[in-house]
Amino acid sequence: MLNNKDLFETLHTDHHARVSQMCCGFMKNDTALAADLTQEVFINIWRSLEKFKGASSYKTWIYRITVNTCLKYIRDHKEKKQVSIDEHLLDESEPEQTRDHQPLYSAIGKLKELDRLIIMMVLDELEYEEIAKIVGLSEGNIRVKIHRIKKELKKIIQNG
């Protein structure tokens, strides 16, 4: 069995990219803010590591911490500043993958918070059952929501 330091390092290595991508989606592609929140997520993981009871996989647990951290930030800063995609036009310092997916991330940024979370997990290829556990909805409800989210994204992208 790994000690907490080794376990944390393994979790960080295995899940950093996913956490970063989710934070980026929640923060409407504000990569600097997403990087700060990613760091905050891993601080929260470190602080909670001893409390992990194994009722879910580490992956599900980390997603839940990521969601809670991002939603808390959004709630705490809702009235202070609204982040606009247009304020953060892509520049050459951003990763190529982010530039390639800019229309999709821009469209995702226009969705409601829960819809953003769900579609980011779909893009990360999570099973519907796991998404349902993370967001606290039934698997059937998740399937319906994903169908509606995809239709909404298509409409947003087509209307520019």
Tens of pLDDT along the chain (160 residues)?
678 899 999 999 999 998 998 888 778 778 899 999 999 999 999 999 988 888 888 988 998 899 889 888 887 876 544 444 443 333 334 444 444 567 777 788 888 878 888 888 888 788 888 888 888 889 999 999 999 999 999 998 888 6
CATH tag for 4-159 (out of 3.10.450.50, 1.20.140.160, 3.30.70.260, 2.40.128.120)? 1.20.140.160
d(CA 58, CA 110): 29
**CA geometry: angle at 97 spanning 66 and 30, to 5°?**
50
Decide: 88 and 79 in contact? Cβ < 8 Å. no
| 0.85 exceeded by pTM | no
Q: Which residues contact 94 (CB under 8 A, 6 or more apart)?
A: 31
Contacts of 3-9 with C-beta under 8 Å, sequence gap 24+, read 4/49, 4/50, 7/49, 8/42, 8/45, 8/46, 8/49
Report the 10 Å Cβ neighbour count for 137. 16
Sorted by where each begins, the domain ranges of the chain are 4-159
